[in-house]
Amino acid sequence: MKISVISFTETGQQLAERIRESMDGEAAVTLYTKCSRLEKKTVPAVDDSDADTICVRNSLSAWAGEQMAARHALIFIGACGIAVRAIAPWIMDKLHDSPVLMADEMGKYVIPLLSGHVGGANELAVRLAGALGAIPVITTATDLHDSFAVDIFAKRNDLRICNREGIAKVSAKVLAGEEITMSVQTGHLAVDETIPSGIRLCAYPPAEKVDVLIADDTEETFRKESAELLLQPKKYILGVGCKKDTDSAKLDLFLTKILEEQGIVIEQVAALASIDVKKEERCLLEFSEKYRIPFWTYTAQELQAVPGEFHGSGFVKTQVGVDNVCERAALKAAGTGGWIFLGKQAQDGMTVAVAEKTWKERIRMWL
């Protein structure tokens, strides 16, 4: 996660520095300021990403839009109204919004404003409050009642939420104290799992409409008529190779075009995979951050040991020590039982392959 912290006063700047220190390398934290006094005293007059604190020259709303487009977590140090007005034009929906938090400049309270569950703002608020000695102000109803939150359940089990309107319907029943029904594709519920009170498991396929249905999209029963909320395992892996300093927008366009041609939505992608020499490649990191997809890398030796037939290249082997990156990385990340769904595709120094993994995971009833 990349976190962008913006302050508006000298006191706020001091808190921003404490926030950065508190993360202790767990996340990349960049400090910004709109304080004119700091601009004159300590902050470079240019938008220099290598500076200790960056002075924001454009409007606060424009800055927020740029940060949210990059899927960074935002922390405003100041009044809630400042943050609300800044982010308002850029809010999309609860599955795609960046996590946004605010803290008062005295460090007394930390409040998640946006994307508390899926984006992790609630968890971040609790983490920061603990480090700062502040009070986390959590307002989401399921958290307040210590109830089952189906969107957190989906996130922790690496499940795609197919119809976000179903979240509210399921949560409403939970908060009303009503029982919710759930059907899980046969063989995919952990055998030792204790089912929380308030959840009733139904046979699969369900004989009647249930509240939550968890199944692969290839199953005939996986349709909106079967459940209020459809959850689907993320099963595709993108194996990617690229030239050094490939433009991020160019890679984004290439990969999303390939997915569209294959009928795969980005939310079905479980991971991005490549060779370890690319672990700091900006275009791959930005793609991972933008779409909230884990980025995994492997050594040349690990990739070379992957069994199978691949579109090898002698030139690639001389450069990175393995004859093929994209197909081998995709298959390595897919794990045992995975297979190549789409072989190597190349364009302008970029390569991609898509692997599909078997749905081996066991659903756990997280609370």
pLDDT band per the 50, 70, 90 thresholds, residue 36: low
User: Are 250 and 348 within 8 A, CB to CB?
Assistant: yes
Please count the other Cβ atoms lying within 10 Å of the Cβ belonging to residue 261: 10
Instruction: Please check whether residues 49 and 128 belong to one and the same domain.
Output: yes
Same domain for 12 and 123: yes
Q: Is the model's pLDDT at 38 over the cut of 80?
A: no
pLDDT surpasses 80 at 193: no
CATH code where residue 122 lies: 3.40.50.11220
Reference 148, options 120, 125, 182; nearest CA is 182
135, 342 Cβ separation under 8 angstroms = no
Q: Is residue 366 pLDDT above 70, yes or no?
A: no
User: Please, which residues have CB within 8 angstroms of residue 272's CB and are 6 or more apart in sequence?
Assistant: 237, 238, 240, 284, 287, 288, 293, 294, 295, 296
- Helices assigned H by DSSP within the chain: 10-23, 36-41, 60-69, 80-87, 121-132, 141-144, 150-156, 165-175, 248-261, 282-291, 300-304, 314-320, 326-334
pLDDT single digits (tens) 348-363: 999 999 999 987 656 6
Report residue 47's pLDDT band, with 50, 70 and 90 as the boundaries.
Answer: very low
Structure-model confidence comparison of residues 94 and 99, the more confident one: 99
Tell me how many domains the chain contains. Answer: 3
pLDDT tens per residue, range 299-343: 999 999 999 999 988 888 888 889 999 999 999 999 999 999 999
Secondary element (H or E) of residue 245: none
Q: What percent of the chain has pLDDT over 70?
A: 93
Task: Identify the CATH number of the domain in which residue 328 sits.
Answer: 3.30.420.180
Is 366 within the bounds of a domain? Answer: no
Check whether residue 208 and residue 301 sit in a common domain: no
Q: Which domain holds residue 162?
A: 150-233
Domain assignment present for residue 292? The answer is yes
CATH number at residue 185: 3.40.1390.40
Q: Is the pTM of this model over 0.95?
A: no
Please indicate, yes or no, if residue 333 is contained in any of the structural domains: yes
Q: What is the mean pLDDT of residues 275-281?
A: 96
* pLDDT of 49 strictly over 50: no
pLDDT at 45: 43
User: What's the confidence (pLDDT) of residue 146?
Assistant: 82
User: Is the domain of 9 the same as that of 127?
Assistant: yes
Task: Report the share of the chain in percent with pLDDT over 90.
Answer: 71
pLDDT digits (tens, 9 = 90+) for 217-243: 777 778 878 899 999 999 999 999 999
Q: Kindly report the number of other CB atoms within 10 A of residue 6's CB atom.
A: 29
